[in-house]
Structure 1
Amino acid sequence: MYILVEQWTPKAKWLQASSEERSSFMQGVGQAIVELSQQGVKVISWNLNDLDTSHRAEATYFAVWSFPNLEVARNFEDAVEASGWYEYFEQTNLRGLAQSPEEVIDQHIAL
């Protein structure tokens, strides 16, 4: 299983778009999420980044996803790119194979 964390902030182009344009775009996002679930993709959570978060990232929003394998995760990344998402949002991503804390701790020690 792979985990992907997206963090994003709206760009001026999004903020300047009409409510109708935003609604239409987000309806497409909602439809894509339904289709992704049929491929085994799970939305863990979509969130607004709390203003009082300790060591807060600058992103306004973030989402956490799980994917059954790397191929599906990469296909998702390609679909996000093709959707025009990055025209509206400044975004960075984190992706990796799901591991236990012990596995990651061992990696830290081995550095």
Structure 2
Amino acid sequence: MSYYLSELYSPKPAWLALSAQQRQQFFATIGAGMQQLADFGIEPIAFGEVASNKLHPAPQQFYAFWKFPNEEAADSLLAGIAATGWHDYFDTINAAGASSDMSAHLQQLASL
């Protein structure tokens, strides 16, 4: 069973205060760590800006979607993200969990 993570995030004032060079240095550090993700079966699915013109939009400005072979891989990525200092620069909301099919999900909702 696959495990998924959806991140929603917006920049904090600390990010906005960085120079372009400081931002590039930060992203270079993150990029260096991204090379190892495939070794753990971590798949980046999509990244982008949240469309604010859609029904019930999230208040965060950006999103990232990830796929994992298991929960442990997701926990590893979340720990790695935190270790970079990401949360010093971005307010982040994480939604993570094991995948299920529509029928099983509707059963989850019905059992509430």
TM-score higher than 0.5: yes
Q: Give structure 2 stretches of 5+ with no counterpart.
A: none
Matches of 1:14 and 1:6 in 2, distance apart?
17
Compute the displacement of 1:16 (Å).
0.6
Matches of 2:102 and 2:30 in 1, distance apart?
32
Contact 2:6 2:95 in 1 (8 A): yes
Matches of 2:55 and 2:33 in 1, distance apart?
33
Contact 2:52 2:58 in 1 (8 A): no
Compute the displacement of 1:59 (Å).
0.5
Matches of 2:93 and 2:64 in 1, distance apart?
11
Q: Give structure 1 stretches of 5+ with no counterpart.
A: none
Q: Name the stretch that deviates more: 24-33 or 61-70.
A: 24-33
Give 2:66's aligned amino acid. W
- 2:58 paired with 1:57: yes
Which consecutive aligned stretches of 4+ in structure 1 deviate over 3 angstroms post-superposition?
none
Matches of 1:27 and 1:38 in 2, distance apart?
19
Matches of 1:13 and 1:91 in 2, distance apart?
14
Give 1:37's aligned amino acid. A
Matches of 1:37 and 1:9 in 2, distance apart?
26
* Structure 2 residue aligned with 1:98: 99
* Structure 1 residue aligned with 2:35: 34
Q: How does 1:1-111 map to 2 (within 5 A)?
A: 1-111=2-112
Compute the displacement of 1:87 (Å).
0.2
Contact 2:5 2:94 in 1 (8 A): yes
Compute the displacement of 1:17 (Å).
0.1
Give 1:19's aligned amino acid. A
